[in-house]
Amino acid sequence: SLKGKTAVVTGSNSGIGLGIAWEMARAGADVVLNSFTDRQEDHDLARQIAAETGVAARYVKADLSKAAECRDLIQQAGRCDILVNNAGIQHVAPIDEFPVDKWDAIIAINLNSAFHTTAVALPMMREAGWGRVVNIASAHGLTASPYKSAYVAAKHGIVGMTKTVALETAQEPITANAICPGYVLTPLVEAQIPDTMEKYGMGREEVIKTVMLERQPSREFATVEQLGGTAVFLCSDAAAQITGTTISVDGGWTAL
């Protein structure tokens, strides 16, 4: 059980981050949720997790495109035994037309934020005598696709940083690993299904299997619960010697 541990999950008011926060709470960890908004519904998510699982949960607003806010998020958490760097955005364009502001935002949110949070969280983990860094990379941390230069660069970058953090903590009870999801069924992906069905004139199952999951040999989406379960596993005793590596949850994408 993760009772007594605090998990800070960045970018966790939707999708994979929220799924991970739920699974951490179900495993007994107190959770700190985060995104850049400060709406009633963000705080309600924390209340709902606390009410259903009995852990302490709260929501802390921080815009992770800004270095100071990344660092402040961990300070405000007060404790960070488990750091899940999950916040991420995407933009698709050929490199010679890639908007500079989009490139900068993707590198800031998908890569730099993990540097800042890790830098502040590691001393807290050392103080507590235990720690887990779980970075949410992507199949695009290991392979590339055209028109995703910033995303692929950031995700390869976070895989490299994960290995470095693992080496710097190798002789301590701290591990650092990256999870590399393939295509995950999040609300954002779900919302693309009707348009894609329309565009290709296909039914739901056909468009999912032949268009959306073309690169995922299982022809099934991964789920946010499966990503949460993988993150919880990395926090277990069984995973204490797993460090500096990647775990793909991609239905065979990177085996192709």
Residues annotated as part of the active site = 151
**Cα angle for residues 228, 230, 233 (degrees, 5° grid):** 110
Q: Which is nearer to ligand NAD, 166 or 222 (CB)?
A: 222
Q: Is 248 in the site for ligand NAD (CB under 6 A)?
A: no
Tokens of 227: 């990503």
User: In this chain, which of 53, 117, 177, 186 binds ligand NAD, going by CB under 6 A?
Assistant: 186
> Which of the ranges 7-15, 115-123, 125-133, 208-216 carries the binding residues for ligand NAD, by CB under 6 A?
7-15
Nearest distance from residue 65's CB to ligand NAD, in Å? Answer: 4
- How far lies 1's CA from each of 31, 78, 134, in Å? 14, 21, 17
Choose which of 64, 121, 178, 231 interacts with ligand NAD (CB under 6 A): 64
What percent of the residues of the chain are helix, what percent strand, and what percent coil, each to the nearest 5?
50, 15, 35
Return the structure tokens found at 139: 């199949």
- Candidate segments 80-88, 116-124, 168-176, 235-243, binder of ligand NAD by CB under 6 A: 80-88
Tallying the residues shown for the chain, one arrives at: 256
The alpha carbon torsion through 203, 207, 210, 215 (nearest 10 deg) reads: -160
**Applying CB under 6 A, does 213 fall inside the site for ligand NAD?**
no
Helix spans in the chain (H) = 15-26, 40-53, 67-77, 100-107, 113-128, 149-168, 187-200, 204-206, 224-234
Q: Is 36 in the site for ligand NAD (CB under 6 A)?
A: yes
Q: How far is the CB of 168 from ligand NAD (least distance, A)?
A: 23
Minimum CB distance to ligand NAD, residue 80 (Å): 16
The site for ligand NAD (CB under 6 A) is made up of: 11-17, 35-36, 63-65, 86-89, 109-110, 136, 138, 181, 183-184, 186, 188-189
